[in-house]
Amino acid sequence: MTFRLLAVHAHPDDESSKGAGTYAAYEDRGEEVMIVSCTGGEAGDVLNTAVPARAHAERDLPGLRRVEMAEAQGILGIEHRWLGYRDSGMAREDGSLEPGTFAAIPAEVSVRPLIRLIREFRPHVIVTYDETGGYPHPDHIRTHEITLLAWERAGRDAEHELGEPWEPLKLYYDQTMNEERSRSMLDRLKDYPELEHLADRMQAVVERLRTKHRNRTTKIDISGTFDRRDNALRAHASQVAPDNEFFFGYPRDLELVAYPYEDYELVEARVDTRLPETDLFAGIDPEGKN
């Protein structure tokens, strides 16, 4: 019997830049992890102009992003599902979105396939973004909204056409990008004079995150999964260059000493919990796993 974790993301590559170390760590522990990509990233751009599959990217970027997602999935060893919606892109100047895209569809409609998926996979824990979406992309915010609706409704004795009710036990928001992590990394940077050029950028990240006051309740040790986390993100080669300084510009031995964790915020729990935690499944009776 295993625990099951469902992480709900907006686009392919989000799962590898936010929480991939955690997903790999739980897979290593023998738990089941499923990633949901709400959209296919159709409105994205080629952000890495040196992507090896440049011809594929120019001809069919959505198709390439599916190939990249499959590669990242294999690296992490997780299950993956597409929710089936089309990337909304950023809002137009007048605030409108392209009709038929994910964030333009009412949440009451787009939550239904997520409820069905929850009832099929039967997760004990769900992870998604907070109300800001992590950053204000319409698809990230809509991902937050439908995940909260699904958390509330998946266990109700209703909507029987979507499957047998299943009530997840804990809901978390991803807080992997936070001031504590960035400040700790910045403090350790002084031991690496050859990386002095990164100090201003890291200080700017600290300042930006300082205003984001969140109750980080749960730290997951990912010290054993750095390589798989990084390789999963590199698999999304159309979006992230292999030498991207923001993600890969500092030594992993620095990170190992400074902050070998990914952070989460426990938002709701249907079991007794004791904070802080070091396990997303803390408080769930192992004898009661389904």
Q: Are residues 148 and 186 in the same domain?
A: no
Q: Which domain holds residue 148?
A: 4-176+215-288
Q: Are residues 82 and 31 in the same domain?
A: yes
**Based on the structure, what is the number of domains in the chain?**
2
- Residue 174: which of 76, 263, 276, 269 has the closest Cα? 263
Q: Are residues 133 and 172 in the same domain?
A: yes
Q: Are residues 37 and 90 in the same domain?
A: yes
Q: Are residues 79 and 207 in the same domain?
A: no
pTM above 0.85, yes or no: yes
Query: 19-63: per-residue pLDDT in tens?
Result: 999 999 999 999 999 999 999 999 888 888 888 888 898 899 999
Q: Are residues 167 and 284 in the same domain?
A: yes
Domain boundary among 213, 235, 262: 213
CATH number at residue 139: 3.40.50.10320
Q: Are residues 47 and 117 in the same domain?
A: yes
Average pLDDT in the chain: 93
Query: 128-148: per-residue pLDDT in tens?
Result: 999 998 888 999 999 999 999
